[in-house]
C-alpha cells in the first residue's frame, strides 16, 4: 500500500533551481532513502510533503490525503526532523519538549524518556547554548516522542557522533520492524545501505534513479572473463576471487560499493563543468 | 486557540508589558499630579514661546478641566507611542520572526491548523494591547481620584480610552499583517515598524498646522480624536469605530495570508 505518493511534482525557482517532474512512492512499512547532492531539491520535496509549500503542478499525498489541503490531519501520525534545526532559543530542552507535548495535545508523550535515554540527551540547558549535536538529538526526541506511524527525516544524523549515528540506525531498524513508513534523506551511504530497502537519487531537481538497493548494486556489477592456462589454475583462481569456473574460463565480478554507485549518479565530471569558476 | 502556545507567548509578552507598564506609570503619575491652575499658566507660557513644538506632540494651551489637561499632555505622545512600540515589537515577534528563523517549522509540523496558530498569536497581541489600555485606565483613574477626588469623570475617561484602544488595535493590526505577509525579517520589521512610525510623524506634521495639516489625511492617528471623544461627539465616535473595523480587517487578512502562504522553512 502506498503511503507517500508523489506524482510529477514541479516547482521552478528559476535558473535551474527547484524540482522538476519528481515522482516516487513509499510503501507501507518501507524505509526509502532519498539521496542527492546539496541543493538538488530534497528539502523542497520534503517541504511539499509537510504541507509547508503548495504544489504548483503535480500532486503529493500521504495516505491518500492531499499534503497541502489536509496537512493538519496528516500531521497527527507524522514525525518530522527538519534539515535545519531551529527551535525556540529562549527555552530549555525540557521546556521545549513539554511545550511540544502540550501543543500537540498529547495525553502521554510515551516515548520521550526512552528516546532521551537512548541518545543520552541532557535537555536541561538552554537551547541557545546547546551544541549542534545536542540540538539534533532534541530534534530526534521531538520527532519520535508521539510514536508516529510515518517518519520524514531530513538528514537526521547531521552533527551526531559515530556512536549516536549508529544508535540512530538501530532505531530506524526497530521502527521498520514495527511497520513504520520512513522517508530518509541522507548523505551517509552506510546509513542508507544499512537501513533502506529502496532509494531514489535526485540531482538538479530531477529523479535520476529509483530502485532497490540490491538491484542498484546488481546493475553496477562489472563481470570479467579470464582464460587461464590450465583447468587446475582456473579452479584455484575462481576460488580465490569468488568467480565461477567453466573449463579454463573464469568469470569474476567486481562489486562496486554503494558509494561508487552514488558518485556515478551524483555525476562527477559533467556536473562540475556546469559551473565554471 | 491553542492554550499551550498562548501561555508560552504571553510569558514572552510579560517582560515588555512590565517595562511599558512602568514607563506609563511614571508619566501618568507625574503628569496627572502636575494639574494645577498655576502650573497650567506655566505650560501655557511654554506654548506661547514654542507653539509649533508643543502642538507637534499634541499639547495645546488652555485645557481647563482635568481630562482636557490629561488629553493635552498624555494623549499626544506618551500614550500613543509607548503602546505603539509594544505593538511593533510583539507583532513582529509572534509570526514574522519565527518564519524568518525557521522555528515556525516546529509549530506547523504538528496537528494544529495554521489558522489556529495565527489566531492564537493574534490573541496574544490583542491581550497585550488590552492589558496595557486597561492598566492605563485604572491607573489614570486611581491617580486622579487620590490627587483630585471627583475631578475626573469616569465615563469620559472610559470613552477616550476605548478610542485609544481601537487606535492601538489598528496599529497592532498593521504590525500583525506585516508579520504574516513577509517571510523575511527585513520586510516584516520594515513595514510593521515603518508604517506606524511614519503615520505618527505625519500626525506630528499635521498638528504643527499650516499647509502641513493636509498630512492628516494620510495617518490613522487622525481618526483618534481624544477631545471629541471626551465631548461625546459623533464624528469622534465614528473615527474610533472606523479604527476598530480597520483592525478587524487587518487581522482577518493577516490570518488568511498566513494560512495560504508558502513557508520555506
Per-residue 3-state assignment (H helix, E strand, C coil) for chain B: CCHHHHHHHHHHHHHHHHHHHHHHHHHHHHHHHCCCHHHHHHHHHHHHHCHHHHHHCCCCCCCCCHHHHHHHHHCCCHHHHHHHHHHHHHHHHHCHHHHHHCCHHHHHCCCCCHHHHHHHHHHHHHHHHHHHHHHHHHHHHHHHHHHCCCCCCHHHHHHHHHHHHHHHHHHHHHHHHHHHHCCCHHHHHHHHHHHHHHHHHHHHHHHCCHHHHHHHHHCHHHHCCHHHHHHCCHHHHHHHHHHHHHHHHHHHHHHHHHHHCCCCC
Higher pLDDT, A70 or B40: A70
* Residues A24 and A126 grouped into a single domain: yes
Residues A201 and A268 in one domain: no
Our CA-based measurement puts residue A187 at a distance from the nearest CA of chain B, in whole angstroms, of: 20
Position A255 confidence tier, pLDDT thresholds 50, 70, 90: low
Per-residue pLDDT averaged across B174-188, rounded?
Answer: 95
pLDDT of the residue at A268? 56
**In which band, very low, low, confident or very high, does the pLDDT at A276 lie, cut at 50, 70 and 90?**
very low
Q: How large is the average pLDDT for residues B175-203?
A: 95
Single out the residue in A185, A212, A239 at which a domain terminates: A212
- How close, in Å, is residue B67 to chain A by CA atoms? 43
| Chain A residues in contact with B260 (beta carbon < 8 A) | 54
Smallest CA–CA distance, residue B239 to chain A, in Å, is 39
Q: ipTM of this model?
A: 0.85
Task: Indicate which of A17, A45, A75, A86 best probes the interface with B, i.e. most B CBs within 10 Å of its own CB.
Answer: A86
The 10s digit of each residue's pLDDT in A233-247 is 888 888 888 888 888
Q: Do B265 and A102 lie within an 8 Å CB cutoff?
A: no
- For residue A63, list chain B residues with Cβ-Cβ distance below 8 A: none
| A226 contacts A250 by C-beta, under 8 angstroms | yes
Q: Between chains, do B106 and A87 touch, taking CB under 8 Å as contact?
A: yes
Flag whether pLDDT at A272 surpasses 60. no
- Structural domain tally of chain A? 2
Contact A86 B103 (CB under 8 A): yes
The predicted pLDDT at position A275 comes to 42
A236 and A123 co-located in one domain: no
Q: pLDDT tier at A270 (50, 70, 90 boundaries)?
A: very low
Mean pLDDT, rounded, for B82-102: 95
Among B8, B109, B265, the residue with its CB nearest the CB of A75 is: B109
List the domain range (segments joined by +) for residue A50: 2-212
State which of A212, A230, A261 marks the end of a domain.
A212
CA proximity to A262, closest of A208, A195, A196, A183: A208
pLDDT of res. B58: 67
Measured in angstroms, the CA of A240 and the nearest CA of chain B are apart by 54
Question: Do A18 and A125 fall within a single domain?
Answer: yes
* B23 close to A (CB below 8 A): no
B245 touches chain A (CB under 8 A): no
Same-domain check for residues A146 and A243? no
How far, CA to CA in Å, does A23 sit from each of A38, A208, A231? 19, 11, 51
Name the residue among B4, B112, B113 with its Cβ closest to that of A99.
Answer: B4
Q: Which residue of B has its CA nearest to A87?
A: B103
Are residues A240 and A203 part of one domain? no
CB contact under 8 A, A103 and B4: yes
Give the pLDDT confidence of A89-107 residue by residue, as tens digits. 999 999 999 999 999 998 8
Confidence of residue A151 (pLDDT cuts 50, 70, 90): very high
Give percent above pLDDT 90 in chain A. 60
Give the residue, B228 or A216, on which the prediction is more confident. Answer: B228
| C-beta atoms of B111 and A104 within 8 A | yes
Give the pLDDT band of residue A269 (cuts 50, 70, 90): very low
Compare CB distances from B111 to A52, A76, A89 and report the shortest one's residue.
A76
Whether residue A122 is found in the same domain as residue A239: no
Q: Tell me: do A266 and A181 sit in the same domain.
A: no
Average pLDDT over residues B252-258: 97
Q: What is the mean pLDDT of chain B?
A: 92
In tens, the pLDDT along A166-223 reads 999 999 999 999 999 999 998 777 788 888 999 999 989 999 989 888 887 777 777 7
Of A168, A184, A212, which residue sits at a domain end?
A: A212
pLDDT value of residue A274: 42
Alpha carbon of B4: minimum distance to chain A alpha carbons (Å)? 5
Task: Specify whether A182 is located in the same domain as A91.
Answer: yes
Q: What is the pLDDT of residues B43-75, one digit of tens each?
A: 777 777 877 777 777 666 556 688 988 998 899
Sort out which chain B residues have CB atoms less than 8 A from A99's CB and list them: 4, 8
Amino acid at each position: 500500500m502506498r503511503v507517500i505518493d508523489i506524482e510529477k511534482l514541479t516547482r521552478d525557482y528559476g535558473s535551474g533551481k527547484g524540482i522538476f517532474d519528481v515522482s516516487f512512492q513509499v510503501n507501507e512499512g518501507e524505509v526509502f532513502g532519498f539521496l542527492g547532492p546539496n541543493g538538488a531539491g530534497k528539502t523542497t520535496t520534503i517541504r511539499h510533503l509537510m504541507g509547508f509549500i503548495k504544489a504548483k503542478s503535480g500532486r503529493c499525498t500521504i495516505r491518500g490525503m492531499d499534503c497541502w489541503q489536509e496537512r493538519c490531519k496528516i500531521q497527527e501520525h507524522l514525525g518530522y526532523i527538519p534539515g535545519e534545526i531551529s527551535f525556540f532559543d529562549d527555552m530549555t530542552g525540557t521546556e521545549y519538549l513539554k511545550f511540544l507535548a502540550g501543543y500537540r495535545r498529547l495525553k502521554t508523550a510515551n516515548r520521550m524518556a526512552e528516546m532521551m535515554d537512548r541518545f543520552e540527551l541532557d535537555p536541561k540547558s538552554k537551547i541557545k547554548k546547546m551544541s549542534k549535536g545536542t540540538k539534533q538529538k532534541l530534534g530526534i526526541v521531538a520527532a519520535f516522542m508521539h510514536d508516529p506511524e510515518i517518519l520524514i527525516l531530513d538528514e537526521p544524523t547531521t552533527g551526531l557522533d559515530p556512536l549516536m549515528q549508529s544508535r540512530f540506525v538501530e532505531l530506524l531498524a526497530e521502527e521498520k520492524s514495527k511497520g513504520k513508513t520512513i522517508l530518509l534523506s541522507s548523505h551517509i551511504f552506510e546509513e542508507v545501505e544499512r537501513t533502506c530497502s529502496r532509494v531514489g537519487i535526485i540531482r538538479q531537481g530531477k529523479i535520476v534513479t529509483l530502485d532497490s538497493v540490491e538491484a542498484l548494486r546488481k546493475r553496477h556489477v562489472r563481470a570479467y572473463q579470464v582464460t587461464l592456462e590450465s583447468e587446475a589454475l582456473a579452479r584455484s583462481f575462481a576460488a580465490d576471487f569468488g568467480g565461477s569456473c567453466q573449463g579454463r574460463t573464469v568469470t569474476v565480478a567486481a562489486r562496486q560499493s554503494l558509494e561508487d554507485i552514488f558518485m556515478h549518479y551524483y555525476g562527477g565530471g559533467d556536473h562540475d563543468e556546469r559551473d565554471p569558476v | 486557540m491553542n492554550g499551550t502556545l498562548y501561555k508560552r507567548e504571553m510569558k514572552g509578552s510579560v517582560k515588555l508589558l512590565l517595562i511599558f507598564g512602568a514607563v506609563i506609570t511614571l508619566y501618568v503619575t507625574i503628569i496627572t499630579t502636575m494639574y494645577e491652575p498655576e502650573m497650567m499658566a506655566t505650560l501655557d507660557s511654554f506654548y506661547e514661546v514654542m507653539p509649533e513644538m508643543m502642538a507637534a506632540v499634541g499639547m495645546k494651551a488652555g485645557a481647563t478641566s482635568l481630562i482636557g489637561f490629561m488629553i493635552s499632555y498624555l494623549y499626544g505622545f506618551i500614550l500613543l507611542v509607548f503602546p505603539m512600540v509594544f505593538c511593533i515589537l510583539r507583532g513582529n515577534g509572534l509570526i514574522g520572526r519565527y518564519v524568518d528563523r525557521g522555528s515556525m517549522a516546529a509549530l506547523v509540523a504538528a496537528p494544529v491548523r495554521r489558522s489556529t496558530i495565527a489566531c492564537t498569536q493574534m490573541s496574544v497581541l490583542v491581550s497585550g494591547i488590552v492589558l496595557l489600555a486597561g492598566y492605563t485606565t485604572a491607573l489614570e483613574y486611581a491617580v486622579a481620584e487620590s490627587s483630585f477626588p471627583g475631578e475626573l469623570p469616569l465615563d469620559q475617561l472610559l470613552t477616550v480610552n476605548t478610542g485609544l484602544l481601537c487606535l492601538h488595535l489598528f496599529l497592532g493590526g498593521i504590525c500583525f499583517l506585516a508579520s504574516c505577509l513577509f517571510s523575511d525579517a527585513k520586510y516584516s520589521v520594515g513595514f510593521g515598524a515603518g508604517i506606524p512610525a511614519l503615520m505618527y510623524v505625519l500626525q506630528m506634521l499635521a498638528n504643527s498646522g499650516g499647509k502641513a495639516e493636509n498630512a492628516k489625511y494620510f495617518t490613522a492617528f487622525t481618526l483618534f480624536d481624544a477631545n471629541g471623544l471626551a465631548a461625546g461627539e459623533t464624528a469622534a465616535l465614528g473615527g474610533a469605530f472606523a479604527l476598530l473595523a480597520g483592525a478587524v480587517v487587518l487581522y482577518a487578512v493577516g490570518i488568511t495570508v498566513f494560512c495560504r502562504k508558502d513557508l520555506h522553512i
